Chains A and B, each alone.
Chain A
Amino acid sequence: MDDIKRIERRKQATLARRNVYTEAVKPETFITSLSDEAREYFFASEKKRIATNLKKRKIKKTIITAIGVAVAVFISALALVPIFFTFLNSFMSSEEIVSNYQVVFQSMSGHATQGATYMSRTPVLKLIPEEVTISQYTTLLFMNPEYLFKYWNSIILTLPIVAGQMVVACLASYSFARYRRKRREVLFFSYIILMLMPFQVTLVPNYMIAETLGILDTIWAIILPGIFSTFAIFLLTKYMRQIPSGYIEAATLDGASEWQIFTNIALPLCKNAIFALTILLFIDYWNMVEQPLVLLTDPAKQPLSVFLSQINEPELGIAFAASSVYMIPPLLIFFWGEDYLVEGISRSGIK
């Protein structure tokens, strides 16, 4: 008897649910038409169903999130691997490095790898050195004045360019942003085109003008074109045009001079963009390889970036330390100004 009743109830409830969800019958009328027992069963089963559904959905969501996190972790790991290896390997002793990696560079330079029987056939890639020393750094900093010179070269090339370009760009982009006229837009557009020109195009003009001015083979041949590069102007103008014109109008009504508007309103409002651009420019010029390669024939004047690529077997022992020392300034700047950078980049892309 009981079984038949139960089956009957279940039938009724299933029917009810199906009817409710296909909207064949209005839910209220159907539920009231059920017997008390059937209704109770109906509610209970619905509760259960909803609960399991929610659970399922939650599990599904966690799984998806977990997969997402896994993918993101994987990508981040790929992004960090080269940096970590370079940095951690810089704490190896130079003998360890040579024994680990010499095989790589012998094959690069085309020598046959014969005679060196102690050497392994494949490179040994290690994250953690067998023995942590700072011997590479001491050799680098105290025994090779050459490296310090190159380092200094990098600094005196980068800093004036960044500072100069920022000053020039602030002024120019203010004028482009504040006084928009049709004919001036043409000039601005030609600036953009200039910015987009790859170095392959500007190289010859740069060389010719440097030759004419007689600054070839001095650092000015790189610094001066760098200062007047239009990249910063492009981004900063984009940013300055977002300043509400009401701010400037209000300042004019209060009797502010043009210079006051520039220094007290435009510049502070663009603070983030200016920091971001400074960081971007610093990275770009710290990284510079092409210009010094062509415009500075004297190896003594070339920056560390060019020099690092010419490291070969004899100096392999300190190569990692040199690389690490070279990437520390940009990384420090990045950690200091990451928020500015992210905000600056973000705002530059939105119209």
Chain B
Amino acid sequence: MKCGDTVTFMDNRTDNTNNIIEKGEVTGMRPGSQAAVPETKPEKKSEPVLISKDDIDSKLINRPKAKNVTPLAGMKLTPEDIPVFENTPERRAKLELRNKRRFKRKLRDWGIFTGYLTPSFVGVLLFFFLPLIMLLKTSFQKSPTNSDFVGFRNYERVLTNPAFQDASKNTLIFAVISVPLAVLLALLIALLLNSGLPGKSIFRSILLNPMMVPVASVVLIWQVFFSYNGVVNGICEQLFDTFKKIDWLKSEYAQVVVVLLFLWKNLGYNMVLFLAALNSIPHEILESAAMDGAGPVKRFFAIKLHYLSPTIFFVGIMSLINSFKIFREVYLLTGDYPNELYFLQHFMNNSFTHLDYSKLSAGAIVMCIVMIIIVGGLFFAESKFDKDVEE
């Protein structure tokens, strides 16, 4: 809207007084609105100028600071100057017409909006929202067929279920370890690549490669590395005499393997996001900080981190989403019933075989609520942090 205001602002002026202001304003304008200026300008210029040039000049010197200054701003208005709209039939008709047009335009906007959105909305309603409501209903029923209201008994059953507790514990531990690591390591790699390293783009595409490879394809080699008779154990045995073989996939070390796999897959994507954010930091600020004697560490914490904060949140959220997808890797590595890596998805899948829907839906609702809380918290933190940065 800012551009539109300046257009009218210029048109009411005579040429001489206008020049300085016009220059200043025009440079900041967008190409779209610049194109609109010549269309309206010639008509208005031909109108007779009512105020003398000197008058305007004197007004301009001590004009107020407000944005929408018209040449008349400094003048005193008498009551006669304010137009009074009488409630005549013509006036009423005009207003009615205007309202009608506004309504029509609103309707048209709304029509276009819904038109474009309908395919998606219908699908989302049918495949996500409605089922979620059904889910909510089933979670309070005895069973899907027997619609007796049982209150929170299903929730009680889920929350006291040791398998569910175990699964949520494992999932939570995994997320808490892997998400910060994914963010931090990706940031470090991005900083490394951004520090004037030769062949930056080559490294970038190499690191993006793992993201492209289907997990199912590399699972085999991963098993070769980490199984009990695997390569990692072999190497460790040769390096250290006292090393005892670890069954990586079936002991408490399984989390380590899965975290490694997760990092291997996601670091590239996160790194590209960070690289882009680093490139968008204005160079002048960094250079002037360097001139003032700020070292690389100081420059990072004082400047870069502030510009990176939205990206850090974005990467964190994306990593969180991806951390819940880790089931794929775990399933492919260890199958249906892993000992140490029993994740929530396993719980869901295995409960399916027992067809205990009401328990399942209660579990899903619990997870849904937890997700909403986590995501809401993240968004809240982001908005708060953003405000801090702006101040």
Contacts and interface: CB of A to CB of B under 8 A. Distances in A.
Given A79-B264, A79-B268, A85 B192 contact: no
State the majority secondary structure of interface residues on A.
Answer: helix
Interface string B62-77: 0000000000000000
Contact of A209 (B131, B268, B332, B352): B131
Nearest to A202: B128
A200 B345 contact: yes
Nearest to A71: B192
B20 interface: no
Interface of B: 3, 30-33, 35-36, 109-110, 112-117, 119-121, 123-124, 126-128, 130-132, 134-135, 138, 189, 192-193, 195-199, 203-225, 227-231, 233-234, 249, 264, 267-269, 272-273, 275-277, 279-280, 310-311, 314-315, 317, 320-321, 324-325, 327-328, 331-332, 335, 344-345, 348-349, 352, 357, 360-361, 364, 367-368, 371-372, 375
A-B interface, 10 closest residue pairs, ranked by CB to CB distance from nearest: A246-B32, A205-B131, A228-B123, A346-B276, A198-B324, A175-B116, A172-B120, A349-B273, A323-B217, A308-B216
A197 B196 CA distance: 39
Contacts of A196: 317, 320-321, 371, 375
Contacts of A245: 32
B336 to A, nearest CB: 10
A68 B199 CA distance: 11
A209 B127 contact: yes
Interface in A202-246: 202-209, 224-225, 227-228, 230, 233, 244-246
A117 interface: no
Given A104-B223, A246-B3, A345-B272, 14 more contacts: A79-B210, A83-B210, A121-B229, A122-B233, A197-B368, A198-B367, A200-B367, A204-B357, A244-B30, A246-B30, A306-B216, A334-B209, A346-B276, A350-B311
Nearest to B318: A349
Contacts of B332: 289, 305, 308-309
Contacts of B112: 175, 178-179, 258
Contacts of A207: 352
Contact of A105 (B223, B231, B277): B223
State the majority secondary structure of interface residues on B.
Answer: helix
Interface of A: 65, 68-69, 71-72, 75-76, 78-80, 82-83, 85-86, 89, 101, 103-108, 113, 121-123, 125, 167-169, 171-172, 174-176, 178-179, 184, 191, 193-209, 224-225, 227-228, 230, 233, 244-247, 249-250, 253, 258, 262, 283, 286-287, 289-290, 293-294, 304-306, 308-309, 311, 319-320, 323-324, 326-327, 330-331, 333-334, 338, 341-342, 345-351
Contacts, number: 306
Contact of B220 (A262, A319, A347): A319
A200 B348 contact: yes
A72 B124 contact: no
A26 to B, nearest CB: 22
Contacts of B311: 349-350
A128 B151 CA distance: 63
Nearest to B192: A68
Contacts of B124: 191, 194, 228, 230
Contact of B113 (A105, A179, A309): A179
B227 A200 contact: no
A342 B67 CA distance: 41
B128 A327 contact: no
Contacts of B371: 193, 196-198, 201
Contact of A104 (B117, B224, B317, B348): B224
